[in-house]
Amino acid sequence: MNLTIEHLAPRLPYGLKLQNKFGEIGTLNGVYNEGEEPISMFDVVKGASGKLEDVKPILRPLSIIHSFINHTGSWRSIAASCEGRYIVDAQYDESAGVVLSVEDGNGCSLQPSIDDYKVLYKLHLDTDGLIEAGLAIDVSTLDVNPYAQ
């Protein structure tokens, strides 16, 4: 697996942080193709840009969804198969993608709706298994959380 525009583009509105190969951290503000080469742009002030292979998004593991649910109250899924029930867990599966589990205890699980994905992106959760693949940085491994600033 390689980091692609498809991994980054949906996160543009939410202030995704990237770290380049020199350890500099900036905010993603654009992704484009330059010929065949996907390029990411971050921190307009610094004017930094780089090949996707030279940057890594800074994400939170999907497994910490519990802390967001506990601190921000409930998160109701709007997906039809489990509509209105509370999401209590999220896992990434290589073949299925993100799978959400809900409160009913009857094993109801679902694929996230578009609105669910927006919430996952806004929380900077790793919806693609990028941390495990070595293509993203787990924010908890950094000395300073760039999202806390």
Q: What is the pLDDT of residue 5?
A: 83
C-alpha distances (whole Å) from 105 to each of 29, 88, 92, 123 are: 40, 10, 19, 25
Highest mean pLDDT: which of 2-11, 78-87, 114-123?
2-11
Q: What is the pLDDT of residue 120?
A: 82
Query: Measured between alpha carbons, how far is 29 from 16 in angstroms, rounded to an integer?
Result: 8
- Contact 19/55 with Cβ under 8 angstroms? yes
Structural domain spans, the chain? 5-60+130-140, 62-122
59-102 tens-digit pLDDT: 998 877 766 555 444 555 444 455 555 566 666 666 656 666 66
Question: Which one is predicted more confidently, 33 or 105?
Answer: 33
